Structure 1
């Protein structure tokens, strides 16, 4: 009986030690930053994890397989969303294209292709017409794309995304936002893989 109690006590101590070690492994200001004025999330339920990216960003291109693999196994209470950044004027057409094909339900057809063309091949797809010709190569109706590209709905989505990215003080891509409260980058976390470890930690912290 005494031996069982001693064993249980050792196990409890070990669990507490591991829990404390894990809690101390990621520090605010070192591995992630708190957003001074939290930004609104798309849903009031679950924990939103937003990936802020740009199709022309080579770092986003490298990060892509890691975040996609993570998203496939993320818990049900995680709401993973993509936010195209407009940190430069040349980024805006690509963000607009993202929302246009998303509105059409055609994002899966061209999301990878956009990355390949813009970050991988450095193609000059910097206008609605050039982007329309490009998506047409991948089975998306060019005329419908341009209609959505220039639509009020896409303008509104673009403005909302810009406000959220600016409010979160995002200065580069890729950046992960957790619950609208925390900002994580590879520079802070140490690597692309480590970014997602920190994200997991923050998700559990919020949950």
Structure 2
């Protein structure tokens, strides 16, 4: 379900020769139905025009973290993060993200979520695995688990579940721009092209 290695492989191909990134971007002609779809019912993206749906276990999502941050800083186009999940799958990863957010430590702990779910350094599992990394980063474990079970986090979970459904997200990473334009990740041939498409959609007038 998750396209974990796609971007890493594409980046290797792009750097190995053939068409340059600049030539690729210059030749782009983005088309609805090929590079992006339009949601019948727009969803709210809040203040940020780009919404990224991610999963802490998705390697591609992790690899894109610094590139997305740099692109957003350079272009001034905001990106909001939504942990993708259903009622029964990817739930713990989403709850971890929302707990960090509710505690006010997401800015420093966001990437730690990827480490917890992807590293092979620790053989611990479940709550013990999370506790191990919380201790390493001096996070109050007692408060963490209180917030984990809180109504505030449950409300955040309900919100991200609704957004995942409304955006019809079935794989990560996924991007929704202006609450309406859904990027077709499988049509993207490089990271540069992804950002070119996101910029194009962010500046595109919304269809009526």
TM-score by length of 2: 0.77
8 Å contact 1:58–1:120 — kept in the other structure?
no
Determine the structure 2 residue equivalent to 1:36: 40
1:137 maps to which residue?
Answer: 136
Q: How many residues align?
A: 182
State the match for 2:53 in structure 1.
Answer: 52
Deviation at 1:165, TM superposition (A): 1.1
Offset of residue 82 of structure 1: 0.4
Q: Do the aligned residues in 2 keep the contact of 1:35 with 1:181 (CA within 8 Å)? A: yes
Q: Deviation string for 1:99-134 (max 9, x for gaps)?
A: 111111111332222213323438677645542442
Instruction: Give matches, 1:142-161, under 5 Å.
Output: 142-161=141-160
| Alignment gaps of 5+ in structure 2 | 1-25
Counterpart for residue 88 of structure 2: 89
Indicate the SS of the match to 2:78.
Answer: strand
Where does 1:52-201 land on structure 2 (aligned, <5 Å)? Answer: 52-75=53-76, 78-87=77-86, 89-121=88-120, 127-128=126-127, 130-201=129-200
The answer (yes or no) to whether the contact 1:52–1:173 under 8 Å persists in 2 is: yes
**What TM-score does the superposition give when structure 1 sets the normalisation length?**
0.77
Query: What is the distance in 1 between the residues matched to 2:33 and 2:170?
Result: 16
Shift in CA distance, 124/29, structure 1 to aligned 2, threshold 3 Å: farther
Structure 1 portions without partners, runs of 5+? 1-21
Q: Distance in 2 between matches of 1:170 and 1:197?
A: 21
Greater relative contact order structure (CA < 8 Å, 6+ sep): 2
Q: 1:199 to 1:109 in 2, by over 3 A?
A: same
SS in 1 for 2:49: strand
Q: Offset at 1:50?
A: 0.8
CA distance in 2, matches of 1:181, 1:122: 40
CA change 1:115–1:200 in 2 (3 A) is same
In the TM superposition, residue 90 of structure 1 has moved relative to its aligned partner by 4.6
Specify which structure has the higher proportion of helix.
1
